[in-house]
Structure 1
């Protein structure tokens, strides 16, 4: 596994032989690029099968269904995030750039990464921090695109250094305490950013009441229909394959039907539509009225870029590097959990190196929003490629993964199709912004499900203790201790969101996010080891109680047998 050797001595003190030490995927090797080399050595012999396994006769059906399903599941958020980037950066980049970023980053990552089942795309924290970088550029009177180029290139360097020096091993200190707060931040960004423009329609007076009401109705229709259809498979209506199809494409159906509804009344209303040029060109218009070139000039586009700003770009680049480290590795940890049944092994250092050496420079040169491993699409990708079997356990039957089609082809083809969606630009301009806000809001509400922090937070609204869900920690701990632990997490989440939302402090919120692991370490002074074990590793404890791996839901939590039954239905397209 590695060249590191442990010297073995006999009773007389003489060397008798040496033994090679095996390093795990998240261990420090003590050598430059030691973990990276081990990742390459682990995955290289499997590289050919990573492409051919997808097209074996027994796997081709899952391959095709996974590609079609994940294409739509990844394209809808890309369009939605693109609209948010367009608004937040005042037209510096938008929908086409976001689609292109997802396509290029995904194809590069799926070709060279250590864990090609991870799906790359935009995430809430990256959206928020990109807007922070834009405000920093505006505050310093700098052109955003050249400044963004240097931020991405510095981030590329730092990300490569993190991979080379085995710093992914630090993820061993990140527990469910930090994961739940990080997931909570993503949910809050989706929810608040989704509903805020709708509220402004009524408060700023720039839109007529009729149009504001109609946009509100489209928002509610999109959110309501997507929520209903996502659970449609559990209804008695229609045949199961049809129910599964409608549930799997719930967001797409809601988006298309809401847009069609808006088109019916387009002559009577004046809705805000998605801004997309019919031609294949960047969103940014230069001072002479022309579109910027696709290749960003790091020395300045409309005016010379000052040399001091190259050094100034280091500050936000560190924040981007920290965010990328957390986003990428948290998703990878969830994807690679033993209960998912993967056999080919992870490649944490290699994944980060590919981002730093390939995807980040590509986005910098082309002036694209950054893409990173996105948790929900990644876990959905794994589930769609998994075959389950029923096993008898002492507590009854349960379904466990029996086979996962581990390969690179589905990820590559998904992002090829996303790239082809660039030719849909003339159609995308008919999407109302309120519909996209409804999708954004739905993503936030849906991501609350399975978050341990919000599960415990909902306990605050239950006054009768006999009505509490029978979680393991509730049965074994005083409820006051559970509430205290939740309160600490809520305070951390509030500080994190406050740092992001306040312009003067927004640049430092990734660093507070990284400090959550330190805060968790310090909680040994507030809770006993037994209490922390129960509250901070609920998923792992449930896992230990069974003799075979359980399924994971979209947030990486172990499921019950009932949930597993539902999930098997969800994987059939």
Structure 2
């Protein structure tokens, strides 16, 4: 390396090449693989410390508690998503495959990625689009597993090309306008897919009225208890450490107690239970009665796979690549924002390259659901590894991050433990489906909080303008302009969900999602720069800074009573002796790019 290409550390802590001093992590380098090479230069000198920092004496306790906490927090949604995959794909893959995918993808990603603090798992959009892929295979009378193999391999190729050609830089055009709609889609998927099966029990003849009523009670119990316990730390009951413990494990407590309650009456009410084999084998049962092999034959399992099926897999593969691009990069942007005080720098292109080169082919060969960076567990991971100090400000006290244990070991060991959960299969079959639906519904409702699109939609229900929450844009803009902006977002969300639900159009909904950034650009002809600045955080896309995304306002807004305050407001953050809570931190108010507790 010449002196002109020497590596240096900038004021933000990012390691850069002096030959590209003005090029940030989300900018075009003008060279093939330029962004990828910069990511490698940024992270390679730190690779050794990425493994050792977790077990330094001052970091060991925080690392161990983080591993145990995130293991439970990531396992519950893996089970829930697995049950949804099993039902939606008619038994092609299920809970065991979802747990294996989460474990394997997480271990590969944490070992080689540029930002190993991101936690991988299933997301709502990926679940929905996998079901679209299944419908496409059924429509053309193709075996799903070989077809899914080719979809994943095409997606792998497209994802690698995106990373090599610096296309992560396009994220600078994605603003809160698109992010709020993306978050809204996730919320709707969880809410509707959570409650609809419970309602169907009452008008379908498959269940008795008593069984339908009992499943609904379990559903409501799971949702209600998880919601109550998630806010339990704010109550005066018990010791603070016990309140934090119950709040942090709210979903797990609700799931276990509801399952125990169901076990008492399961035989009398004929409850539907989670379908899991006691042995570690694929879920798919072949026509002959046996199970498929773990290694998928891309040219057919029970019949020959036609050659035309390979190019037929390209269109859904592009859709998967678009979804993966959005999910991965939006989560990475939130993890890497300067307010988190990370010092080792991001690796957007490297993260995407690892997904394309390692995790996607692994899932294709083994026939596993795809995993991608999930926002809530990723940010929870960051907060759990953060040491805070209290600063006195005019508005009150504020806990600010002073140190983050940036390393790979906790992420790797979290997914190792999730992999060990595969041997819990005999116990998983005692989980009622109604309980998992309650967890799914809870995820959707929890993700509504803090989404500024839904905050502004709730204003439609307030007829007396004097009763409006004191959001900063309400204080400065005519309410008609706020409603117009919200209505445009609402229409985009409705179109997006409609495209997903209609089988004939579902294959194109990722492309409409990607077009939201273009729609946002046209808003400059409807709204003034000041209005866009207040409603979206960006007056004009062309006027953004060199690294706009990490600098833009929080994707997840603060509570209504706090929105009008300055950036120096009091921020609830978990104490050092307690685990972080999703509800206590503004970043965790809702899931923006894919939800998982």
The TM-score bracket by the shorter chain reads over 0.9
> Structure 2: any 5+ residue segments left out of the alignment?
6-17, 539-549, 563-567, 582-597
Q: Any residues of structure 2 matched to 1:436-451 within 5 Å, and which?
A: 436-451=436-451
Contact kept? 2:102, 2:121, Cα under 8 Å: yes
* CA distance in 1 between partners of 2:4 and 2:127 (Å): 41
Once the 2 structures are TM-superposed, how far is the Cα of residue 464 of structure 1 from its aligned partner? 1.7
Aligned residues: CA RMSD? 2.2
CA change 1:562–1:278 in 2 (3 A) is farther
Q: Any residues of structure 2 matched to 1:306-317 within 5 Å, and which?
A: 306-317=306-317
Once the 2 structures are TM-superposed, how far is the Cα of residue 459 of structure 1 from its aligned partner? 1.1
Question: Which residue does the alignment assign to 2:579?
Answer: 571
Once the 2 structures are TM-superposed, how far is the Cα of residue 21 of structure 1 from its aligned partner? 3.5
Once the 2 structures are TM-superposed, how far is the Cα of residue 395 of structure 1 from its aligned partner? 4.0
TM-score (norm 1): 0.93
Contact kept? 2:399, 2:573, Cα under 8 Å: no
Once the 2 structures are TM-superposed, how far is the Cα of residue 197 of structure 1 from its aligned partner? 0.6
* CA distance in 1 between partners of 2:260 and 2:572 (Å): 35
Contact kept? 2:150, 2:313, Cα under 8 Å: yes
1:120 matched to 2:128? The reply is: no
Question: Which residue does the alignment assign to 2:14?
Answer: none
Deviations 1:161-185 (A, max 9, x none): 0000000000000001101100110
Contact kept? 1:78, 1:102, Cα under 8 Å: yes
Question: Which residue does the alignment assign to 2:342?
Answer: 342
Question: Which residue does the alignment assign to 1:58?
Answer: 58
Q: How many residues align?
A: 552
SS at match of 1:527: coil
* CA distance in 2 between partners of 1:20 and 1:179 (Å): 30
* CA distance in 2 between partners of 1:465 and 1:69 (Å): 44
Contact kept? 2:380, 2:580, Cα under 8 Å: no
Question: Which residue does the alignment assign to 2:89?
Answer: 89
* CA distance in 1 between partners of 2:143 and 2:570 (Å): 51
1:491 matched to 2:491? The reply is: yes
Question: Which residue does the alignment assign to 1:15?
Answer: none
Q: Any residues of structure 2 matched to 1:409-420 within 5 Å, and which?
A: 409-420=409-420
Deviations 1:180-237 (A, max 9, x none): 1001100100000001110110111210000000000000000000000000000000
Q: Any residues of structure 2 matched to 1:218-229 within 5 Å, and which?
A: 218-229=218-229
Deviations 1:350-372 (A, max 9, x none): 00000000000000000000000
Deviating more after overlay: 393-402 vs 53-62: 393-402
CA change 1:168–1:312 in 2 (3 A) is same
* CA distance in 1 between partners of 2:158 and 2:258 (Å): 43
1:298 matched to 2:306? The reply is: no
* CA distance in 1 between partners of 2:90 and 2:119 (Å): 28
CA change 1:119–1:19 in 2 (3 A) is closer
Once the 2 structures are TM-superposed, how far is the Cα of residue 147 of structure 1 from its aligned partner? 0.1
CA change 1:19–1:224 in 2 (3 A) is closer
SS at match of 1:359: helix
Deviations 1:318-364 (A, max 9, x none): 00000000000010011111111111100000000000000000000
Contact kept? 2:574, 2:580, Cα under 8 Å: no
Question: Which residue does the alignment assign to 2:330?
Answer: 330
Contact kept? 2:226, 2:253, Cα under 8 Å: yes
Once the 2 structures are TM-superposed, how far is the Cα of residue 390 of structure 1 from its aligned partner? 1.6
* CA distance in 2 between partners of 1:171 and 1:20 (Å): 19
* CA distance in 1 between partners of 2:180 and 2:4 (Å): 36
* CA distance in 1 between partners of 2:569 and 2:40 (Å): 39
Question: Which residue does the alignment assign to 1:521?
Answer: 521
Q: Any residues of structure 2 matched to 1:61-460 within 5 Å, and which?
A: 61-460=61-460
CA change 1:562–1:249 in 2 (3 A) is farther
Contact kept? 1:189, 1:444, Cα under 8 Å: yes
TM-score (norm 2): 0.89
Question: Which residue does the alignment assign to 1:545?
Answer: none
Contact kept? 1:391, 1:400, Cα under 8 Å: yes
> Structure 1: any 5+ residue segments left out of the alignment?
6-17, 539-548
Q: Any residues of structure 2 matched to 1:9-24 within 5 Å, and which?
A: 21-24=21-24
SS at match of 1:299: coil
SS at match of 1:268: helix
SS at match of 1:447: helix
Deviations 1:289-335 (A, max 9, x none): 00000000001000000001001101110000000000000100111
Once the 2 structures are TM-superposed, how far is the Cα of residue 566 of structure 1 from its aligned partner? 5.4
Question: Which residue does the alignment assign to 1:8?
Answer: none
* CA distance in 1 between partners of 2:112 and 2:253 (Å): 34
* CA distance in 1 between partners of 2:471 and 2:557 (Å): 13
Deviating more after overlay: 484-493 vs 558-567: 558-567
Once the 2 structures are TM-superposed, how far is the Cα of residue 572 of structure 1 from its aligned partner? 5.8
CA change 1:156–1:436 in 2 (3 A) is same
Once the 2 structures are TM-superposed, how far is the Cα of residue 564 of structure 1 from its aligned partner? 2.3
* CA distance in 1 between partners of 2:81 and 2:461 (Å): 33
Deviating more after overlay: 452-461 vs 429-438: 452-461
SS at match of 1:57: coil
